[in-house]
Amino acid sequence: MTGRPRVAVLDYGSGNIRSAQRALQRAGADTEVTADFDTALSADGLVVPGVGAFAACMAGIRAVRGDQIIDRRLAGSRPVLGICVGMQVLFGEGVEHGLHTEGCGQWPGTVQRLHAPVLPHMGWNTVDAGDGSRLLAGLGPGTRFYFVHSYAALDLPMPPSARMTPPLISWATHGEPFIAVVENGPLSATQFHPEKSGDAGAALLANWLEMVR
């Protein structure tokens, strides 16, 4: 691919989509905020943002067939990036206030409330990059990203019989360790908000766009 990659930002009623769109444009993408199935499916890259409650985000995603879009894109090895709750919904389920909500199921595991003295986890924090991380390439161990969340995935349990290559995981800690980044072939996700993370977030988005090209 030459030129600027075309990136669709999935619009399913979650907030914060315009800031993600602007950050992607600054990082070098032509972007469109859309709920259209074919547009989201055919774009070079798809970003799934998300803020708020897991159950509400899943309801919005299913309403625009976003779970099907993600499935179809990944079946064709077409890049998808989840952000914040847009990352959480990629797991098997979310548990909030005793309510179990089925997620998109791209990864096994449960999103649950963090055990921490102060919630939400809001502000800047460092990430322990996994070896070979492409999203965090060029970003040192002291690099800080902006988080706003009370829930997270604490592990990604691969079944013993699974023949797939385990996803590459990068961790952060707030009260306890939690998954901050997952890189799994065409599927990537961050618990933090790269669009709110200044130069570090811009560098991460540029790294992702290199994977989209």
Q: What is the predicted pLDDT for the residue at 2?
A: 55
Burial of residue 138 (CB within 10 Å: 0-12, 13-18, 19+) is exposed
Catalytic option among 32, 57, 84, 102: 84
Assigned domain for 1 exists: no
Which pLDDT tens digit goes with each residue over 28-54?
999 999 999 999 999 999 999 999 999
The total of other beta-carbon atoms located within 10 Å of residue 36's CB is: 14
* Catalytic residue flag (residue 100): no
Assigned domain for 198 exists: yes
Assigned domain for 26 exists: yes
| Residue 182 scores a pLDDT above 90 | yes
* Catalytic residue flag (residue 195): yes
Catalytic option among 57, 121, 193, 210: 193
- State the total domains in the chain: 1
* Catalytic residue flag (residue 57): no
Q: List the domain range (segments joined by +) for residue 31.
A: 6-212
Residue that is written with structure tokens 């618990």 in the block: 191
